[in-house]
Amino acid sequence: MKIVLFAHGEVGLEVARHFTAEGVKPELAILVRGDEQGAAFRAALPGVEVVEWEREAGPEQVARLRALTPDLGIVAWWPFLLRPEVFTVPPLGCLNFHPSLLPHGRGKHPNFWALREGTPFGVSLQFVDVGIDTGPVAFQRTLDVSWEDTGATLHRRAQAAVVELFKANFQRILRGDLPRQR
């Protein structure tokens, strides 16, 4: 399976480290231009080309992505929306990490909304589509919310839980065994 990794922040770095620990090399790792953890990503992915993109991919980046013919994109905490010319390149799609129990908490700051509205909370690995967090869900894990939680505690717990959810399903992902639940 040919995978392109879009990675950002601590979540992206943990995912990169997991690839290496499992002896799997993505075809390409894409970081946000100027990511302060760029050196750590490069160290975590020996032998993997690491490139940096601006907020949106330009025509050259899209052409490069198409030339790689990836089967799947892994979008590990990428802070920007991917445009269709990017997320439709891999035939299996792009699997996005989201800190909510979709369909609850679409968009930004789902931890806040879980506290404010009392909606169920958790993490999801879901496919990118043209909407915002509206694509089919592949994997989810529910997280309990207590009276002691704050937006910050939920955010930290969601980051750890989404990495664990990815690790728990890594072999299924590599086999292309990707459920699509609406």
What domains are defined for the chain? 3-175 (3.40.50.170)
Q: Residue 42 in 3-state DSSP?
A: helix
Residue 142 has φ and ψ, to the nearest 5°, of -80, 140
Do 98 and 124 meet the contact criterion of CB atoms below 8 Å apart? yes
How does pLDDT run across 42-85, given as a tens digit for each residue?
999 999 999 998 878 888 999 999 999 999 999 999 998 899 99
**Gap between the Cα atoms of 43 and 54, Å rounded:** 21
**Gap between the Cα atoms of 1 and 58, Å rounded:** 25
**DSSP 3-state percent helix, strand, coil across the chain (nearest 5):** 35, 20, 40
How does pLDDT run across 154-165, given as a tens digit for each residue?
889 999 999 999
Residue that the structure tokens 């930290």 belong to: 156
Q: Select the more confidently predicted residue: 147 or 5.
A: 5
Q: Give the model's pLDDT for residue 132.
A: 87
| Cβ neighbours of residue 9 closer than 8 Å, sequence gap 6 or more | 37, 77, 79
Give the Å distances, CA to CA, from 149 to 111, 112, 140: 10, 10, 20
pTM of full prediction above 0.85: yes
Q: Give the model's pLDDT for residue 58.
A: 85
Q: Select the more confidently predicted residue: 57 or 8.
A: 8
